[in-house]
Homo-oligomer: A and B are copies of this chain.
Amino acid sequence: MKKKIGIVLFEDFETLDVFGPVEMWGDLPDYEITMVSQHGGPVKSTQGVTTCASYSFDNAPQFDILLVPGGMGARREVSNSVLLAFLREQDERTEWTTSVCTGSALLAKAGILSGRRATSNKLAYEFAKRQDEGVLWQRSARWVIDGKYVTSSGVSAGIDMALALVEKIYNRELTETIARETEYLWNDNAFNDPFANGASD
């Protein structure tokens, strides 16, 4: 049986935060992707497209890789104690807990990143920081790996993070194959963050 990648959806998630990693992880030999939301069923992104979550928080299986996207909806979900509890519960047994953009604000608010190095969207950097000042926030990073925690900067940075995790789990060769087959110019240097100077609220 394949291992499970679980992506947490909520209303007004950012489209590419989810589908960038889906594209890069969609054909991994040992993993399959499933979507989960609080109530299951259709969930609409900020860009207005609807995706179907196969599981609700109540019937979701344990995921091996958890991915939390960001987006305008994350500003609301930091106050959703049901979602935060779901993240904490899943995180206890994941192999990898990952986020894109302000998804790290949700992980931070859930208390999952305390004392760990992490990053977030540069256009919502102060918002992320406010969720937990005990996180070792990295202002200049395309993505950050600290133990099993892999957080990325905004939107497109999630694609680079997703490939970095493929390299970590598998190897360089498979990662480069995926990038080539998707004609993606992988920014493979986590420390090269061209958007760090725009950090703001």
**Could you tell me which A residues sit within 8 Å of B by CB distance?**
14-16, 18-20, 22-23, 25-27, 32-33, 35, 42, 45-52, 121-123, 153-157, 159, 180-185, 187, 194-195, 198
Contact check, A32 vs B48: say whether CB atoms are below 8 A apart.
yes
Once bound together, how far apart are the Cα atoms of A49 and B23, in whole Å? 10
Most buried by B among A16, A123, A153, A195: A16
Main secondary structure of the interface of A (DSSP, over half): mixed
Contact assessment for B154 and A123 in the assembled complex, using a CB-CB cutoff below 8 Å: no
Checking B48, B49, B183, B194 against A155 with a beta-carbon cut-off of 8 angstroms, the contacting residue is B183
| Distance from A170 Cβ to chain B, minimum over Cβ atoms (Å) | 17
User: In whole angstroms, what is the CA distance A183 to B47 when docked?
Assistant: 16
* In the complex, chain B residues whose CB is within 8 Å of the CB of A198: 180
Bound complex: CA A183 to CA B195 (Å): 6
With A15-B19, A49-B33: A185-B185 Cβ-Cβ less than 8 Å: yes
**Docked-complex contact A51 and B48, CB < 8 angstroms:** no
In the complex, A185→B154 CA distance in Å?
12
Q: How far is the CB of A111 from chain B (nearest CB, A)?
A: 26
Residues of B within 8 Å of A156, CB to CB, are 159, 182-185
CA A153 – CA B18 in complex, angstroms? 22
Q: How far is the CA of A183 from the CA of B42 in the complex (A)?
A: 27
